[in-house]
Amino acid sequence: MQTGFIYSDELTKNILREDHILRPMRLRLVYELLESYKVFSNKSAEILDPKIATSFELMTFHSRDYIEAVSAFSRGEDLGRQHRYGFSDWGDNPISEGMYEAAALAVGASLTGVDALIDGSIDLAFNAGGGYHHAASDYASGFCIFNDAVIAIQKLLQKGVERIAYIDIDAHHGDGVQNAFYQTNKVMTISIHQSGDTLFPGTGSTDEVGEEAGIGYSINLPMPPNTNDDIYFDAFMKVVPEILKIYDPEILVAQLGIDTHINDPLSQLSLTTQGHNRIVKQIIDLAPGKLLALGGGGYDLSAVARSWALDYATMAGLELPNDVPEKYSLEYGIKTLKDDEITGSNNASIKATVQKTIDTIKENTSKYISQ
């Protein structure tokens, strides 16, 4: 399998706000960790340079008015309208100089992956700088300005792909992507996330199943706080492989948020880096020959660097030693890729809640999707 890691230093430079929890430097930590392991010296792994998405490409999902507003805000103009589009100086989505170009580059990086998959030069592409799954067509949300996942999927549809499965393992529900394809069966969205009862954006319950032609093709697996590796993996395996077998997608798009990690400051799930990577291995195995992987949430820098380095190495068919190379370890204080194993947290109440959710999803699948 030929894999591409889409990266440029430009993806790491835009600072939303000095105290903002989303720190673009996390992408550089991933890249440098892969470099320290000499991953890109392998024939199966290569770096792809991202392009900046054009306004025409952005308009395959976002409204012209919204795109023009973001461009103006990015230049420090017309700021009196920022609240209309989800921006504020103090909230999740602050105005920053150059934010338009940074957000358009994140989208362009995902489109670079699409192009490589379509022309056959790459089998698996990973844009760790993407995965902005909350953005709406005319509204910024949850640190997300432009929704690169939706725009990438739109391009795949334009290229003639008729069945696309989108799997989202971010701690936060992939609401922007779900909403974009809620009325079509050409895109199946599967989101596994911390329950919206306990976490932003407050959506993603099992009764959100789609509408019209899309009924049954939006699937949500909300997880209780403190869900650990074993319970999460069991739920994934009981739901996702069977659904993908029925749907039979031509390509898989996956958002690999690592804010599910036990040390993440924004969520309350309890996955380890190896638990996350175990799920990613399954996603790779389930992909029908083509996979576009995107980054997403992740606010503990160590967890982000270690998890996404593990994930890309897995895509490239490489097994990395657990001990981090000395130079990188000395610079960043990260010693091992994998976390210590967590034991004794297989809570019976959590298991029962998750099993009830699984049963509901299976009932919905049998009701709405042809076998």
By the 8 A CB rule, do 271 and 312 touch? Answer: no
- pLDDT value at 66 more than 60: yes
- What is the percent of the chain with per-residue pLDDT over 90, rounded to a whole number? 93
Please spell the DSSP secondary structure of 60-111, one letter per residue.
TTS-HHHHHHHHHHHTT--GGGGGGGT--SSSSS---TTHHHHHHHHHHHHH
**Pick from 259, 250, 265, 241: which is nearest to 362 by CA?**
241
pLDDT at 65: 98
Give the pLDDT score at 89.
85
Task: For residue 370, name the pLDDT band (cuts at 50, 70, 90).
Answer: low
For the residues 221-248, what does the mean pLDDT come to?
A: 97
pLDDT at 343 over 60: no
H/E segment holding residue 13: none
pLDDT at 342 over 90: no
Q: How far is the C-alpha of 80 from the C-alpha of 63, rounded, in Å?
A: 19
User: Under DSSP, is residue 168 helix (H, G, I), strand (E, B) or coil?
Assistant: strand
Q: What is the pLDDT of residues 119-164, one digit of tens each?
A: 999 999 999 999 999 999 999 999 999 999 999 999 999 999 999 9
The pLDDT-based confidence of 90 (bands split at 50, 70, 90) is confident
CATH for 3-50+103-368? 3.40.800.20
Domain extents for the chain? 3-50+103-368
Enclosing H/E stretch for 276: helix 273-286
pLDDT tier at 16 (50, 70, 90 boundaries)?
confident
Q: Residue 19's pLDDT band (boundaries 50, 70, 90)?
A: confident
| Mean of pLDDT values over 320-329 | 98
pLDDT for residue 344 is more than 60:
no
Neighbours of 371 (CB within 10 A): 6
Cα–Cα distance for residue pair 188/216, rounded to 1 Å: 9
Confidence of residue 1 (pLDDT cuts 50, 70, 90): confident
Q: Which two tokens stand for residue 139?
A: 């509204």
Q: Give the pLDDT score at 18.
A: 81
User: Hey, what are 78's tokens?
Assistant: 């017309």
40-58 average pLDDT score: 98
* Residues belonging to the active site: 134
* Enclosing H/E stretch for 112: helix 99-119
Residue in this structure with the two tokens 């009924």, named with its chain if needed: 215
Asked whether the whole model's pTM tops 0.95, one would answer yes
Which band of pLDDT confidence, cut at 50, 70 and 90, is reported for residue 91? confident
pLDDT, position 345: 59
Q: Confidence class of residue 17 from pLDDT cuts 50, 70 and 90?
A: confident
What gap in Å lies between CA 288 and CA 148, rounded to an integer?
A: 21
**pLDDT tens digits, residue range 263-319?**
999 999 999 999 999 999 999 999 999 999 999 999 999 999 999 999 999 999 999
Strands 218-223 and 187-194: parallel
Average pLDDT, the chain: 96
